[in-house]
Amino acid sequence: MGASLLLLAVLPLASWSAGDAPVPRVLLIGWDGARRARVQELMSAGRLPNLSRLAAAGRWVDIQVTGDPPQTKPGWARMLTGYDSQITGVCKNQIYWPIPVGLTIFERLKQRYGARITTALLGAVQHNLGARGPHRICVNCVDQVQNHWWDEDLSRPVRPWGKKILRLMEGEPYLNARPAIDVYEVGIATPVYQTGIGAADLVGARVLDCLDRHQEGGLFLFVQFFDPDTQGHLHSEGSPEYIRALIEDDRWLGRIMSRLGSRTDASRTLLYVATDHGFEKDSPLHEDGNFQESRRSWLVTNDLAVRRGQGDICDIPTTILKRFDVRAARSDTPLKGQPLD
């Protein structure tokens, strides 16, 4: 009895209130820039068999990207916090601050479960999921996919218009969250950034490795597959390259599902597959906030508690936090999203 009392005394309150229930295992798989209508068209044609299988056994939700521009940095920042840029400070790809302390899913889960959960962020490219402190970006450089800015520290071919204009940034979005992320790997696909060929293989291999290493206890793993976005900018949405990128991501979804399926804990692994923004039809762009197709996102999940057919991008993290039984502290600004139940 003395021993059990001692044990109770050293357990943090959060763990005590969680009781002995196993901590959930959740994978949030991002297909960056996957246009909703194209994904549905390919599913109907039987070309995304794994996503179709997941949707058939689970749910499809139409997700709307409201508020901030349909871009990568604010898109994932919302998906990983449940807040818009007024709270996160991640406004556009080139206008951002570190997300304030404590607001990411990673930090909330660590605060709640401590060592009982593994948190992981696996990013194909560094510049949208970074955690660096002060750094400089070039705001008038143009890279091969026509973003009108570039990160000074990343070696990309740039065509400066006259003199480079550099802006000092305070820090990347995940700077404050970084200590709460156990497995942090970004820039996994940087070696093939210019063509994007083979990017899914590099990223997918890291996911399987992470699953193999962390088979016990709770898990929250976010992974960004960047393939549709890269090929969309290089060759346009709807191009054979763009379609191949979606098929590649689907192939990796299948491998991840089979890996989970071979585990005894598969029944309690929740999978959410979603995109940060869409793309304009047959266009190399999604950047403009007025483009309606770019604001159409989607979610496919095996989470059968999801009942709604439509939602906001901020509803996804709110749903995930609910599955983990994490509520925002009373002092926090309320989450923007509502659970998709």
Q: Which is nearer to Zn ion, 62 or 325 (CB)?
A: 62
Report the b/e string of 330-341 with b at 16+ CB within 10 A.
eeeeebbbebbe
Count of residues of this chain found to bind Zn ion when the rule CB under 5 A is applied? 5
Which of 229, 237, 241, 312: binder of Zn ion (CB under 5 A)? 229
- Interface with Zn ion includes 276 (CB under 5 A)? yes
* Window 21 to 40, contacts with Zn ion (CB under 5 A): 32-33
- Select 117 or 186, whichever has its Cβ closest to Zn ion: 186
Find the shortest distance in angstroms from Cβ 74 to Zn ion: 9
Minimal distance in Å, beta carbon 152 to Zn ion?
A: 20
Amino acid letter, 321: L
Considering only 50, 52, 72, 224, the residue that binds Zn ion (CB under 5 A) is: 72
Q: How far is CA 167 from CA 16, 26, 137, 257, 266, in A?
A: 47, 37, 5, 42, 46
Tell me the closest approach of the beta carbon of residue 224 to Zn ion, in angstroms.
Answer: 8
Indicate the SS3 state at residue 186: strand
User: Binding marks (x or -) toward Zn ion, 172..211, rule CB under 5 A?
Assistant: ----------------------------------------
DSSP letter at 318? H
Angstrom distance (rounded) from CA 127 to CA 309:
32
Neighbours of 22 (CB within 10 A): 12
Q: Cβ 278 to Zn ion, closest distance in Å?
A: 9
Is residue 227 at the binding interface for Zn ion, with CB under 5 A as the rule? no
Nearer to Zn ion, 50 or 93 (CB): 93
Q: 113 or 298: whose CB is closer to Zn ion?
A: 298
CA proximity to 229, closest of 31, 4, 86, 60: 31
Binding status of residue 151 toward Zn ion by CB under 5 A: no
Nearest approach, Cβ of 182 to Zn ion (angstroms)? 24
Based on CB atoms, which residue is closest to Zn ion, 283 or 338? 283
**Own/partner long-range contacts of 142-146 (Cβ < 8 Å, ≥24 apart):** 144/194, 144/234, 145/230, 145/233, 145/234, 145/284, 146/233, 146/284
CA triplet 287, 107, 188: central angle to 5 degrees?
Answer: 50
Q: Where does this chain touch Zn ion (CB under 5 A) — which range of 15-23, 41-49, 116-124, 273-281?
A: 273-281
Binding site for Zn ion (CB under 5 A): 32-33, 72, 229, 276
